Amino acid sequence: MNKKTPAVIILEDKSVWPGLSCGALGEAEGEFVFNTAMTGYQEILTDPSYKNQIVVMSYPLIGNYGIILKDNESERPFLSGFVVGELCRNPSNWEMSETLESFLKRHAIVAIEGVDTRALILHLRNKGSLRGVISTNTADIEPLKKKAKMVSLMVGSALAGEVSCREKYAWNSSGKLHALVYDFGVKRGILRALAQEGFRVTVVPAQTSAQEALALNPDGIVLSNGPGDPEPLKEIIEVTKALIDSGKPLLGICLGHQILALALGGKTYKLKFGHHGSNHPVIDVSSRAVEITSQNHGFAVDAASLPPSVSVTHLSLNDQSCEGFSHKEAPIFSLQYHPEASAGPHDALKYFRNFREMVGRKASRI
């Protein structure tokens, strides 16, 4: 049996969490967040919304079905590091192309196992998300304690442009209605869901002007998920204001939901430890129906700050934070969670159909 390399987590509060390397050797730094999903680790690893974050998985055994190429949500992992209780080295799945360990090493993702993840997650719940480092250089941890306190804060981090595509592209070539998607870190599951609803989908970079976007003659516009703090995205917020004024139907998802709120005059704030997982209960305010949702966000919309023209449609049953809103007059609605369910339950897939129906009604009047 190969001898495993020691590794260590150091958090900004100087707490030390020893373990063993199960990915690339070296150091990783970022904001530590925990994810409560039991499956979907590959979708988590390739979700651009985790840029500059280190993900701690609550489920104790990760990697038991390996890596399946078609399940990637982007072209590569964007997270800084990965923490698991135990990494499975003998996965079983007829579709797998490689093991999780091979995937982590191939993409130079520093990862650690053998950590008491239950204790670590309880620590993060009590303290809130903390900055820190993972390192396989464990001979002297004092310098690591200093590095942990120097990691960039997530508040004030404008990251959408760093994970966005550089040029526009067509996701598919057929569809009666044309959906234009702003890529702030879009997951492929969103693009697939739109295509399945009959949209021809065009994806544009985060920095695309409203004039350029509208020149493509979309029937509806989607503001995608993505990483970081929405408030520093001043130019994108101004573009969104122009898109709202255009009268085009708009759907915001996750970061897009927050950007829409800011463009409408609302405010956002940072959550203590965020919502990350595929088992978050959300209530529809009007119908009182409860959905189990897939979520990944560290910031939220301040419901009290929204203008009278906007109605809150969904609330988190965990902390009562705003999970969705709609405009009373304009064809606009948004969701804080991930309706494409990659990975996660399918309770919210219906909102893509709702968007298609809203876009269809608008298009039929033109």
Q: Say how many Å lie between the first and final Cα of the chain, rounded.
A: 69
**337 vs 289: CA distance, rounded Å:** 16
Give phi and psi for 120, each to the nearest 5: -65, -40
Alpha helices in 221-305 (DSSP H): 234-246, 255-263
Annotation says 327 is catalytic: no
- Whether 238 is a known active-site residue: answer no
Q: What CATH number was assigned to the domain covering residues 6-150?
A: 3.50.30.20
Q: Which of 22, 43, 123, 254 is catalytic?
A: 254
Half-sphere exposure of 156 (CA within 13 A, CB side): 3
Give one word for 161, left, alpha or beta, with left for phi > 0 and alpha for psi -120 to 50. alpha
In the set 257, 276, 297, 338, the catalytic residue is 338
Write the pLDDT tens digit of every residue in 262-321: 999 999 999 999 999 999 999 999 999 999 999 999 999 999 999 999 999 999 999 999
Written as six digits, the tokens of 177 are 């209605």
Domain residue spans in the chain? 6-150, 160-364
CB 141 within 8 A of CB 8: yes
235 catalytic? Reply is no
* Angstrom distance (rounded) from CA 228 to CA 9: 22
Model confidence, pTM: 0.96
Q: For residue range 245-262, list pLDDT tens digits in order.
A: 999 999 999 999 999 999
> β-pairing, 27-35 with 199-205?
unpaired
pLDDT band at 342 (very low <50, low <70, confident <90, very high): confident
Taking Cα atoms as reference points, which of 260, 301, 300, 280 lies closest to residue 344? 280
What fold does the segment set 160-364 form as a domain?
Answer: Rossmann fold (3.40.50)
